[in-house]
Amino acid sequence: MGRDARPRDHAQRKAVTEGDAIRPAGPADQPAIETLYAAAFPQEDMLPVVRALSELAGVLSLVALRGGGIAGHVAFTPCALRGTAERLALLAPLAVTPALQRRGIGRALVSEGLARLRVAGLRRVLVLGSPAYYGRLGFGTEREVAPPYPLPAAWRDAWQSRELCAGPPLPPGTLIVPPPWQSRALWAP
């Protein structure tokens, strides 16, 4: 069994990365995106923020398609750094339909988003999430840019970033987020 597992897993990953598309989300995708979040986050009500982001100009919202349906979604919200002209983005939320997790869809969505934001000239992408997951995608602990609200000590390593364009160090400052991310409850356990 061990001998067979690796080629099968490899074949599944190839099917996801080569056969299925990632494209910007449109209004017609919203019901499927909401169904996806209800399934991927059964303990959390993600719909208010998912809906608010779908109505916010400038958000990069991508869907991953599999077999004609939506298998994953990610959003990147443009943000600013207080006192600077730096253009940053917040990665959240990200979800893959439970039956299709661990097949490379989340990684593919994040990579596509980062590539698009790099072309658009954004400097850095921030995320509040599992270091075990985002560390695999090239994110590291963020020390210069503070989150909009202070995080509990246990979450300090969960505040991460990935640099898109090289440049001088950013001055220490606080991330300025648009209204959908201004609720303190989104930044606390």
Ligand X SMILES: CC(C)(COP(=O)(O)OP(=O)(O)OC[C@H]1O[C@@H](n2cnc3c(N)ncnc32)[C@H](O)[C@@H]1OP(=O)(O)O)[C@@H](O)C(=O)NCCC(=O)NCCS
124 to 143: interface string for ligand X, x by CB under 6 A = -----xx-xx--x-------
Kindly state the smallest distance separating residue 92's Cβ from ligand X, in Å: 5
Nearest CB to ligand X, comparing residues 17 and 174 = 17
Nearest CB to ligand X, comparing residues 64 and 88 = 64
Nearest CB to ligand X, comparing residues 30 and 111 = 111
Residue where the block lists tokens 């995708």: 29
Residues 89-108 close enough to bind ligand X by CB under 6 A: 92-96, 101-107
- Whole-angstrom Cα distance, residue 78 to residue 117? 10
Phi and psi of 94, rounded to 5°?
-135, 130
By beta-carbon distance, which residue lies closest to ligand X?
106
Nearest CB to ligand X, comparing residues 138 and 173 = 138
Nearest CB to ligand X, comparing residues 133 and 149 = 133
Determine if the peptide bond prior to 7 is cis (ω within 30°).
no
> Is 147 among the residues that bind ligand X (CB under 6 A)?
no
Beta strands at 173-176 and 145-146: parallel, antiparallel or unpaired: parallel
Phi and psi of 172, rounded to 5°?
-60, 140
Q: Where are the beta strands (DSSP E) in the chain?
A: 22-24, 60-66, 69-81, 87-96, 124-128, 140-141, 145-146, 159-163, 173-176
Kindly state the smallest distance separating residue 130's Cβ from ligand X, in Å: 5
Residues 18-77 close enough to bind ligand X by CB under 6 A: 40-41
> Is 180 among the residues that bind ligand X (CB under 6 A)?
no
Kindly state the smallest distance separating residue 100's Cβ from ligand X, in Å: 7
What is each CA distance from 148 to 156, 175, 183, 185, in whole angstroms?
Answer: 13, 6, 10, 11
Binding-site ranges for ligand X (CB under 6 A): 40-41, 92-96, 101-107, 129-130, 132-133, 136
